Amino acid sequence: MAGAALRRLMAEYKQLTLNPPEGILAGPVDEENFFEWEALITGPECTCFDGGVFPALVIFPADYPLSPPKMKFTCDMFHPNVYPDGRVCISILHAPGDDPTGYESRSERWSPVQSVEKILLSVVSLLAEPNDESPANVDAAKMWRENRAEFEKRAVKLVRSTLGLPPPC
């Protein structure tokens, strides 16, 4: 199975290098291991994450694309759908099939027709429009709902941090 996964990942990498989505760079950490990728995601324009460059790791299972990869930001991230340790919580990365909690439909969850590009574009969308109804970070979701100005201020600090700039005055 790992051979089929490797072929699929090599094809997806080739596609991403030939036609990269705007604001996203991604590829293997090491060309000897196509199952661990680095990604750089630029914060979406006209959002509180605008201008930031957010590094992440994407780890693929040996049975990819039958099972979804795992994704984790490697920088500080304060977002309703990102656990405090950086793990991304988004439907497209949840195992295929029925949601045990009944919150997500099958069509929202992982399926082998998904791709690295679709995952990364979904994460960009999530940065622009958090889902505060199913939070991975309850504090971030609460702040997003109840004190948007403070959330945006914290996001601006994150953006500046990703660029190596000091926090705003």
Alpha carbon 13 to its chain centroid, in Å, reads 17
- 149 sits in which H/E element: helix 148-162
Tokens of 15: 């596609």
Looking at the chain, which runs of residues are DSSP E strands?
24-30, 33-42, 53-59, 70-73
What whole-number distance in Å separates Cα of residue 37 and Cα of residue 56?
Answer: 8
Active site residue 89: yes
What whole-number distance in Å separates Cα of residue 89 and Cα of residue 50?
Answer: 21
Given the residues 48, 75, 89, 169, select the one marked as catalytic: 89
* Residues classed as catalytic: 89
